[in-house]
A and B are shown apart, each in its own frame.
Chain A
Amino acid sequence: MSDAATSRPDKSFDPKRRRALQDMAKGVAGAAACGVLLAGVAEQSKALPAVTLRPPGALPEPDFLSACVRCGLCVRDCPYKTLKLAEIGDGPAIGTPYFIARDIPCEMCDDIPCVKACPTGALAPTLTHIDKAKMGIASLVGRETCLNMLGLRCDVCYRVCPVIDKAITLERTHNTRTQRHAVFEPYVHSDACTGCGKCEKSCVLEVAAIKVLPPALATGEIGAHYRLGWEEKKKSGGKEAVPGLIDLPDRLPEAPKLDVPQLPDGARLPELPK
C-alpha cells in the first residue's frame, strides 16, 4: 500500500506529458473560442439589408455566402460600375458584391458579363436571359406620395422600365378626390419584374415611392394547401374542384325595421293638392 503510494507519482506523473497536454489544451481552447466567435460573425453576416441588392443570378443569400469568394471579378466586368464590393458598414458581408438601385441601377446587359465573370457559380451560370433575373421586386411602397396615385401623370417608373408593360403596367381606377378623373396606378407584376431598379432610380420624388425589395419581402405567399376554385375549374376543363357542393342560400343583410306609424287597414292618405 505504502509502496504503491510512494511509487505512484513516478509512474503516472510525467511533467513533460502534463506540460504538452496543457499546451495542447491552450491551443485547442483558444482556437475553439476564435472559431465560435467567427461562426457568430458569419451567422450575423447573413442579414442582408433590404436596400442592398445582389447582382443578377445571385444564389439565395445563405447559399450566396457559401459560394462567393469575394474576388470582385463581377465588379470588374460590370460596364456601368453598378456593382460594388461591400465594406464594413455597407451592410452586406464584407467583400461581397452588391448594388443600391437608387444610386446606380442594373442596366440589364444582354450578355450578363457579371454572371459570366463569376468563377464559383455564386452568380448562377444558369441565368442566360437577363429578363429572367430576380435581383428583387419593385414595390410601390409610397402609395401616399406617388404622383400617379395622387392623380397626376408622372409615369416615369412605367416609362423607364426595361420590361415595360410586362413588369409595370398603369392600372386605371376612379379618382375619388376629383370625382371626374382617373388614377393611373403603377402596378408591378412580380413574375416579370427583374429588380433592376431603374424605376427606383428614376422616381422623381425626394425619396423614391417605388422601391426594389428582396423578393421575399416584396411578395406574399399563399399556403401550399390553398386551392383557388376558379383556377382549378379552368385546369379541369370546367369541372368543379369539389363536385356536389350544396349552394347555400345567400344571406343578405336584413333591411332595417323602421318605426313608422302604420295606417289602419283600408285607410288612404288624402290626395295632395296639385
Chain B
Amino acid sequence: MSAKRNPGHEAWRQHGFAVAHRWLIARRAAQAGFFLLFATGPWLGVWITKGTLASSLTLGVLPLTDPLILLQSLVARHPLGTTALIGGAIVLVSYLLLGGRLYCSWVCPINPVTDLAAWTRRKLGIETDWKVKPETRLWLLVAVIAASAASGTIAFELVNPITTLHRGLLFGVSWGLVTVLAIFLVDVFVARHGWCGHLCPVGAFYGLLNHGAMVRVSARGRVRCDDCMDCYAVCPEMHVISPALKGERSGAGPVILAADCTACGRCIDVCPERVFRFAHRFDTRLDPPSTTTTARPASMTAATAAE
C-alpha cells in the first residue's frame, strides 16, 4: 500500500526530484502557459490571446474555437459564423493529429484540480470508490448533445466547470465555481478519477479525437519492468497501461495506443526502471533484453544501498 500512497518515491530516490517530476513540471508549465496567454491581457494589459477556451483570438489573427461547443451550437440549429468555423477546424485538425486528450492533461484548467484531488486521495489513503463505468462519459456526451438539440441552446455551457473556471479566472470569480469544488470533493471522496476518468463529456469528446494520436507513451523498456505498480497508481486511466506494458505475451507493441491515454507522462516520471518514454504511435522500438542484465542489478544495488 505504501507504494500506492507514494508512487514515484522510488524514482525520486534513484534519479532525483527533477527527473522523477520532469513531465509533471513540463505539464504544469504548459497549463500555466496556456492560461497566461489569456491572462496577461486582463491582468497586465498585454493582450496575447483574447477570449476564453470556448473561443479566442490570438495576436489578432489566429481564431480558435472549441469544436464540442460548435457541435452543440450546430445541433441547436444555429448556422455557424465563419470565424468560429475556421477556429473550430484548426482545433479539430490539430487534436486529431496530435491526440485529443492532450487537451485533458496539458491544457484543461480542471486537470490541476483533479490531480490535486488524486494526490489528496492517495495521501489520505481513501479507498472508497463508487463504481462508475468509464463509458459513462460517452453516454453523458450523447446526453449533452441531445439536450442541446432539444432545448436549442448550447446546453453544456450552462454548467461546464472547465469553461466556468477559465472564465471565472479571466472575467471575475463566479458562483459557478462551486462546480469545481464539487468535482474536487467527488474525486477525493466518491470516485477515483471520477470526473476526468468517468464523467467529463468534454474529455469523452476529446477522447474521440484521440484514436489516431501521434503523441503517445511507449513502454519501450518493458523488459525492465519489475511490477512495482507505481505507474498504475499515478495513471488517471490505469487500464491503458497493461496492453502495452504486458504486451510481450500477446505480441502487442510497446506503444500505449488506448484512446483513453491522455499522454500526461506521469508513468514516465514515476518509473524507477525508466520503462516509459514519449514516442510517436508508429515507434515500435523496444529496448533489447541485454540492457536488463546491466540496468536491473544497477538499480537494485542503488535501492539496497539506499536502504
Show the binding face of A for B, using Cβ within 8 Å. 23-24, 26-28, 30-32, 34-36, 38-39, 41-43, 45-46, 62-63, 65-73, 75-77, 85, 87-89, 93-95, 117-122, 125
Say whether B81 contacts A121, CB under 8 Å: yes
Interface magnitude class on chain B: 35 or more
Report yes or no: B157 in contact with A69, Cβ–Cβ below 8 A: yes
How many Å lie between the Cα of A118 and that of B170 in the bound state?
A: 18
Q: Which residue of chain A has its CB nearest to the CB of B80?
A: A120
Residues in B with CB closer than 8 Å to A121 are: 78-81, 84
Q: Nearest A residue to B57 by beta-carbon distance?
A: A73
Starting from the known contacts A31-B139, A73-B57, A120-B83, 8 additional A-B residue pairs (CB-CB under 8 Å) come to A42-B153, A65-B76, A69-B66, A69-B154, A94-B164, A95-B163, A119-B63, A120-B81
A-B contact count (CB 8 A): 159
Say which one of B114-122, B144-152, B268-276 lies at the interface with A.
B144-152
Contact of B153 among A26, A34, A35, A45 (CB under 8 A): A45
Closest 7 CB pairs of A and B: A35-B143, A31-B139, A66-B76, A121-B81, A71-B55, A42-B151, A119-B83
Question: Which of A24, A62, A95 is the one whose CB lies under 8 Å from B152?
Answer: A62
In chain A, what residue has the closest Cβ to B140?
A31
Is the CB of B155 closer than 8 A to any CB of chain A? yes
Q: B54: which of A34, A36, A71, A125 is its contact (CB, 8 Å)? A: A71
Interface residues of B in 157-185 (CB under 8 A from A): 157-159, 163-164, 167, 170-172, 174-176
Nearest Cβ on chain B to A35's Cβ, whole angstroms: 3
Q: When the two chains form their complex, are residues B147 and A95 in contact, meaning their CB atoms are under 8 A apart?
A: no
User: A125 touches which one: B51, B80, B81 (CB < 8 A)?
Assistant: B81
- CB nearest to A35 among chain B residues: B143
A-B contact pairs, 22 of them (CB 8 A): A24-B135, A27-B136, A27-B139, A31-B136, A35-B146, A42-B148, A42-B158, A62-B153, A65-B154, A66-B152, A70-B157, A70-B163, A70-B167, A71-B52, A72-B167, A72-B170, A85-B172, A87-B172, A87-B174, A95-B54, A117-B50, A120-B80
- Point out the residue from B69, B148, B151, B174 that lies within 8 Å of A69, measured CB to CB: B69
Are A30 and B136 closer than 8 Å at their CB atoms? yes
Bound complex: CA A46 to CA B152 (Å): 10
Whether B133 and A23, one on each chain, are in contact in the complex, defined by CB atoms closer than 8 angstroms, is yes
| Residue pair B154, A72 in contact (C-beta under 8 Å) | no
| B175, A27: Cβ atoms closer than 8 Å | no
- Which residues between 63 and 116 of chain B lie within 8 Å of chain A, taking CB atoms? 63, 65-66, 69-70, 73, 76-81, 83-84, 87
A31 and B50 CA atoms in complex are apart in Å by 34
Which residues on the A side are within 8 Å of B155 (C-beta)? 38-39, 41-42
Main secondary structure of the interface of B (DSSP, over half): helix
- CB pair A89 B153 closer than 8 Å: no
Question: What does DSSP make chain A's interface, helix, strand, loop or mixed?
Answer: helix
B41 at the interface (CB under 8 A from A): yes
Report A155 CB to chain B, min CB distance, Å: 37
Distance of A31 Cα from B136 Cα, bound (Å): 7
Complex: how many Å from CA A73 to CA B171?
Answer: 11
B124 CB–A CB distance under 8 Å? no
Does B167 contact A31, Cβ atoms closer than 8 Å?
no
| Chain B, residue nearest A26 (CB) | B133
Q: Cβ of B238 < 8 Å from any Cβ of A? A: no
B31 at the interface (CB under 8 A from A): no
A89 CA / B174 CA spacing, docked (Å): 10
Q: A38-B155, A42-B151 are in contact. Are A85 and B171 (CB under 8 A)?
A: yes
Determine the distance from Cα of A63 to Cα of B153 in the docked complex, in whole angstroms.
Answer: 8
Q: B126-143: contact bitstring with A at CB < 8 Å (1 yes, 0 no)?
A: 000000010110011011
Considering the chains assembled together, what is the distance between the CA atoms of A36 and B151 in angstroms? Answer: 10
User: In chain B, what residue has the closest Cβ to A86?
Assistant: B174
Check if B56 is an interface residue, CB within 8 A of chain A. Answer: yes
Task: Tell me the bound Cα distance from A34 to B50 in angstroms.
Answer: 32
Q: Complex: how many Å from CA A70 to CA B51? A: 9
Q: How far is the CA of A9 from the CA of B163 in the complex (A)?
A: 51
Least CB distance, B172 to chain A, in whole angstroms: 7
Are A41 and B158 in contact, with the CB atoms below 8 A?
Answer: yes
Closest residue of B by beta carbon distance from A45: B158
B78 contacts A88, CB within 8 Å?
Answer: no
The residues of A that contact B35 with a CB separation of less than 8 Å are none
Q: Which of A27, A38, A118, A119 has the most chain B CB atoms inside 10 A of its CB?
A: A119
Point out the residue from A36, A45, A72 that lies within 8 Å of B171, measured CB to CB: A72
**Do A38 and B147 have beta carbons less than 8 Å apart?**
yes
State A222–B216 Cα separation when bound (angstroms): 65
CB-CB under 8 A from A125, the residues of chain B are 81
List, in ascending order, chain B residues with CB within 8 A of A118's CB: 81
Q: Tell me if A88 and B174 are in contact (CB < 8 A).
A: yes
How close is B4's CB to chain A, nearest CB, in angstroms? Answer: 26
Q: Is there contact, CB below 8 Å, between B84 and A94?
A: no
Contacts of A63 in B (CB 8 A): 78
Whether a CB of chain A sits under 8 angstroms from the CB of B156 is yes
Q: How far is the CB of A93 from chain B (nearest CB, A)?
A: 6
The one of A23, A75, A119, A122 that contacts B57, using a Cβ cutoff of 8 Å: A119
Asked if B77 contacts A66 (CB within 8 A), the reply is: yes
Residues of B within 8 A of A88 (CB): 174-176
A31 touches B55 (CB 8 A): no
